[in-house]
A and B are shown apart, each in its own frame.
Chain A
Amino acid sequence: DGGITQSPKYLFRKEGQNVTLSCEQNLNHDAMYWYRQDPGQGLRLIYYSQIVNDFQKGDIAEGYSVSREKKESFPLTVTSAQKNPTAFYLCASSIGTGVPRDQPQHFGDGTRLSIL
């Protein structure tokens, strides 16, 4: 079945440590996104990528980094510069920038990151 796989489901970070969240899709989508969700809150965009080897900052990119070396993969690194990383992280993908633009985003199951 086509879909988006995020791993791990739960992740713990020590102070000063970088951690990487994995996101893989087999939907052949061009665009991929990372969102952060805090308890009881909506989604905030961290980074997005419309095409391989290109990505753009979202609303809350500080303390995060990404790469897009392959169409299928869009890993997110939470760096030690992100002082409050505890949150639920969701990866999504969509067909891309071309028409039709009414195509929805498809989401993974998310990764819960906590500080040790």
Chain B
Amino acid sequence: AQKVTQAQTEISVVEKEDVTLDCVYETRDTTYYLFWYKQPPSGELVFLIRRNSFDEQNEISGRYSWNFQKSTSSFNFTITASQVVDSAVYFCALRWDYGQNFVFGPGTRLSVLP
């Protein structure tokens, strides 16, 4: 079965702290795709990054970085020097190669306090 787990329901940090959001996935497929989305208080989901199962290279984009480890089935997201505008719910999602749909994790609510 395809499944995404985000064990952290809520995280609170003080501005400028680093924070890591965990994502663990389950799939039997050897080819699959992982995504992170941000949902700010306004409600829309904003796509942040995707990663293919055959590309384990980590990625950095400004203050955001992603650590993909197939050995532990994890695709963790780190925000460096967090800012108040980072406050949102973050979702990790999985799509497998022959699947029609996306499976979303339950989300992690991040609050960055000034």
Contact = CB atoms under 8 A, between A and B. Distances in A.
Partners in one complex: yes
Interface of A: 31, 33, 40-43, 45, 48, 50, 56, 58, 88, 90, 92, 97, 101-110, 112
18 contacts: A31-B100, A43-B91, A45-B101, A48-B101, A97-B100, A102-B33, A102-B50, A102-B52, A103-B50, A104-B37, A104-B47, A104-B50, A105-B45, A105-B47, A105-B93, A106-B47, A110-B44, A112-B43
- Which of A43, A48, A107 has the most B CB atoms < 10 Å from its CB? A43
Interface residues of B, number: 23
B44 A42 contact: no
Contacts of A106: 47
A79 to B, nearest CB: 23
A58 B101 CA distance: 9
Contacts of B47: 104-106
B35 A104 contact: yes
Interface of B: 33, 35, 37, 42-47, 50, 52, 91, 93, 95, 97, 100-102, 104-107, 109
A42 B106 contact: yes
Contacts, number: 54
B43 A110 contact: yes
A42 B105 contact: yes
A105 B95 CA distance: 10
Given A101-B95, A102-B50, A43 B101 contact: no
Nearest to A50: B100
